[in-house]
Structure 1
Amino acid sequence: MRVPVIPPDAAAASPAPRLPPAPVAATTIAAVHTAVPPHRYAQEDLTEPIGDLCLAPGADRVLLRRLHVSTGVRTRHLALPIERYAGLGDFGRSNDAWIEAGTDLGAEAVTGALREAGLEPADIDLLVCNSVTGVATPSLDARLVGRLGLRHDVKRIPVFGLGCVAGAAGLARVHDYLRGHPGDTAVLLTVELCSLTLQRRDDSTANLVAGALFGDGAAAVVARGRDAPGRDGDGPAVVATRSHLYPGTGHLMGWEIGATGFRVVIDAGLPAVVRDHLGPPLRAFLADHGLTVDDIGAWVCHPGGPKVMTAVTEVLGLPDDALNSARRSLAALGNMSSVSVLHVLQSHHGARRPEPGTWGLLMAMGPGFCSEFVLLRW
């Protein structure tokens, strides 16, 4: 399935002012590839079928329909044809579907990223694999080693629990690894099949929001250490990273895990938390590198939802179009949890890359409540 690549903003492609000297890159992003399932639906074609799943017969659908219109999502891809969801029945069947579809999508994403980077599976030294929408032992990364032809001594790190922040946090941890192993090449794989967590006969606002907002997909990033063999490519360098947890906010986002699987927790107060807490740590992070918000020419932001993106724009004083690449990703594919920020990053590769010397900030937020910042330079 060919994934639509969103064009970056005009503002994101322009060189930023007052650029400090370029640092020696410890990590270079060689390729990003997003894969989505073949089952693509217009948002309006999902509203009533999702209502049939989540609501009791005859229930009022006013809120459901309003949410489907207001999310900013136009199309989404689902792991299964929509008519199959009613027959999943329990968590076991949903999780089996996650393993099957997730392994297929993960293989497609990694294969595409390696091809774009000009590398072979045997070139990979580390595979980090994240998902928060299913569980498996052996993990997805273990299942992919033989299928993709990775070396039997490849290092693997399966990650669970980071949610939407994992695309940014995973890239940050890959960078940490490559700083200590500069001759290595690593792959970050994120696989999120959010539709398989949808709770049947659950009319909670959080479940209805999830049914209106989230889509399914996978993304892989190939990252090279400073001394790794291979071509340089046209991706940015990772300059620095920072993590930040917001105390007292752990109840705002996550899962309640029970007999029916993963029941989503999304608090309506999240945009207010972003407004109250995002600005100071982000500005401090930039200041440590001699930068300000105005120096960032490419904003690579996880598209959590319209209200969250508006809060980010307002608290940082960004131009109205600064997060347009994230909004286009949301419209085309929905919120794919950890996959989405990597899809936005993909839009800044190839012919659409920013001018050399442009500073970028890749950022995401997720359960904890937390944020992750990755400073980039093209």
Structure 2
Amino acid sequence: MDHTAALVSLATSVPPHQFHQKQILEAARSILSARYEQFETLASLFANTGIRNRYGVKPIEWYLEPRGWPERTNAFLEGAEALFINVAQAALARADLAACDIDTVVTVCSTGIATPTLEARLAGKMGFRADVSRVPVFGLGCAGGVSGLSIAGRLAQARPGTNVLLVVLELCTLAVRHDELTKANIVAASLFGDGAAALVLRAGDGGATRIEAVGEKLWAETLDIMGWSVDPEGFGVIFQRTIPDFVAGHLGPAVAEILARMELAASDIDRFVCHPGGSKVITALERALSLDQGTLAHEREIIADYGNMSAPTVLFVLERAVAQGLPRRSLLTALGPGFTASCVALRHAA
């Protein structure tokens, strides 16, 4: 019997407030331009991201006022709980399961702090059993969708026949800052949105799409590439290096190294499913992975429709790839703070 973890269902969800990219640019201009003389020079970033729309847990007026930790945290708890319930129930329905059938819940989130954690706060509303295993994961950033899938898959494989629910949820918009007059803050304002994805995994009873192998690479001395700073107002984004340049120069060898540990080669991969950080990152991914320009079409569609939602974004891409029909072997890839590349190889039986 094959005890590798299989994908039983996949669902995605976004909060109710849709923002157009030009609307966000005007909001950012109203907040920052009078105090930051370089704003107009950097405003072109909004047009160059490839983003048309994004979603947020609050109406746009909420973001126009300065906010501190208490307000951000209240907004996070309210928005995250609603989004968790929505996406988890959708994944359970597609798996023909109830919440009481779930044995392990893995919750991945790096954009808010909740203790008790989200799955504990929602156990009663969801209907989780009292003996459900809870695995909250914080700090993976944009790599969280792929790394979370890796963690959930290994937990399913460790206990064949049990149901593992993975919820990957990020509310990036709540980190918007009025006080940080920096290029990094403008980049963040031009890119990030809110969203969530949920999957049910199970090992030991067949399944068309299976996790064949997983792997990661952590680069030394790269803590400054991406992350959060923390101060009395909230999270502050850290972007100290140009990520597209890092992707172009380092991702190809890293993926080859990870594939070699999986006993695979790039020629064995029929489809790459990548976290799309932005249009320049997607172009860098195609170059780094030796793909024809335009190959990562789903990635471009997702970034256009939703922006960069951090961890769940790659799972939105996977959902579109599944709908189109997965090839025999796919490789999910994402980069996140650490600085880390995370990969999951999926094997699909037609």
- Whole-Å Cα distance in 1 between the matches of residues 77 and 41 of structure 2? 32
| 1:228-255 Cα shifts (integer Å, max 9, x gaps) | xxx84x5x21000001101111111101
The structure showing larger relative contact order (alpha-carbon pairs under 8 Å, at least 6 residues apart) is 1
User: 1:25: Cα distance to partner?
Assistant: 5.4
1:335 alignment partner, SS class: coil
1:152 pairs with 130, 150, 173, which one?
130
Give the match's secondary structure for 1:345. helix
Q: 1:220: which partner in 2? A: 198
Q: Which residue of 1 aligns with 2:336?
A: 366
What's the CA shift for 1:269? 2.6
Number of the residue aligned with 1:15: none
Structure 2 Cα separation of the partners of residues 54 and 340 of structure 1: 28
Deviation at 1:88, TM superposition (A): 5.3
8 Å Cα contact 1:348-1:354 kept in structure 2: yes
Q: Determine if the alignment matches structure 1 residue 108 to structure 2 residue 86.
A: yes
Deviations 1:313-339 (CA, angstroms, capped at 9, x unpaired): 112211212211111110100000001
Cross-structure match for 2:326: 354
Query: How high is the sequence identity, in percent, across the aligned residues?
Result: 37
Deviates more, 1:133-142 or 1:58-67: 58-67
Q: Distance in 2 between matches of 1:60 and 1:282?
A: 37
Who is 2:308 aligned against? 335
Alignment of structure 1 residues 79-118 onto 2, 5 Å: 79-87=57-65, 89-118=67-96
232, 237, 240: which one aligns with 1:264: 237
Aligned AA (1:166): G
Matches within 5 A, 1:100-139: 100-139=78-117
Please give the alpha-carbon distance, in whole angstroms, between the structure 2 residues aligned to 1:25 and 1:223: 12
* Cα deviations by residue, 1:266-297 (Å, 9 ceiling, x for unpaired): 13332232233222231133234453223322
Contact 2:69 2:232 in 1 (8 A): yes
SS in 2 for 1:161: coil
Q: Mean alpha-carbon deviation: is it higher for 119-128 or for 288-297? A: 288-297
- Give the TM-score normalised by structure 2: 0.94
Given that 1:88 and 1:94 are in contact with CA atoms closer than 8 Å, whether structure 2 keeps it comes out as no
Partner residue, 2:255: 282
Do the aligned partners of residues 226 and 53 (structure 1) sit closer, same or farther apart at CA in structure 2, a change above 3 Å counting? Answer: farther
Residues 320 and 58 of structure 1: CA distance in aligned 2, closer, same or farther (over 3 Å)? closer
Matches within 5 A, 1:298-317: 298-317=271-290
Check whether the contact 2:3–2:160 (CA below 8 A) recurs between aligned residues: no
Q: Name the residue aligned to 1:295.
A: 268
Q: Distance in 2 between the 1:152 and 1:63 partners? A: 55
Q: Distance in 2 between matches of 1:115 and 1:281?
A: 37
| Structural RMSD (CA) | 1.8
What do residues 332-352 of structure 1 show as CA deviations (whole Å, max 9, x unaligned)? 0000000101111111224x2
- Equivalent residue for 2:180, pick from 193, 202, 209: 202
Q: 1:55 to 1:188 in 2, by over 3 A?
A: farther
Mapped partners of 1:369, 1:110: distance in 2: 29
Q: Map 1:44-55 onto structure 2 (within 5 A).
A: 44-55=22-33
Cα separation, partners in 2 of 1:278 and 1:365, compared to 1, 3 Å? same
State the 1:176 CA deviation: 1.4
Aligned pair in 2 of structure 1 residues 56, 270: CA closer, same or farther (>3 Å)? same
State how far apart, in whole Å, the 1-side matches of 2:20 and 2:260 are.
43
Whole-angstrom distance in 2 between the partners of 1:221 and 1:63: 41
Equivalent residue, structure 2, for 1:74: 52
In 2, the alpha carbon distance for the partners of 1:290 and 1:216 equals 36
Match of 1:13 in 2: none
**Cα distance in structure 2, aligned partners of 1:258 and 1:90:** 10
Give 2:12's match in structure 1, choosing from 31, 34, 39. Answer: 34
Q: Which amino acid in 1 is paired with 2:192?
A: F
User: Match for residue 171 of structure 2?
Assistant: 193
Partner secondary structure for residue 348 of structure 1 = helix
Deviation at 1:58, TM superposition (A): 8.0
Q: Under a length normalisation based on structure 1, what TM-score does the superposition of the two structures give?
A: 0.88
| Stretches of structure 2 lacking an aligned partner (at least 5 in a row) | none
Q: How many residues align?
A: 348
Report deviation, 1:37. Answer: 0.9
Letter in 1 for 2:93: R
Distance in 2 of aligned mates of 1:100 and 1:372: 30
The answer as to whether partners of 1:132 and 1:163 remain within 8 angstroms in 2 is yes
Question: In structure 2, the residue corresponding to 1:151 is in which secondary structure?
Answer: coil
Unmatched 5+ stretches in structure 1 = 1-22
Structure 1 residues 270 and 375: CA distance shift in structure 2, 3 A: same
CA distance in 2, matches of 1:217, 1:134: 13
| CA shift digits 1:49-88 (9 cap, x unpaired) | 1222344458554234201101110111111100112345
Q: Is the 8 A contact 1:192 1:337 kept in 2?
A: yes
Closer, same or farther: CA 200–348 of 1 in aligned 2, 3 Å: same
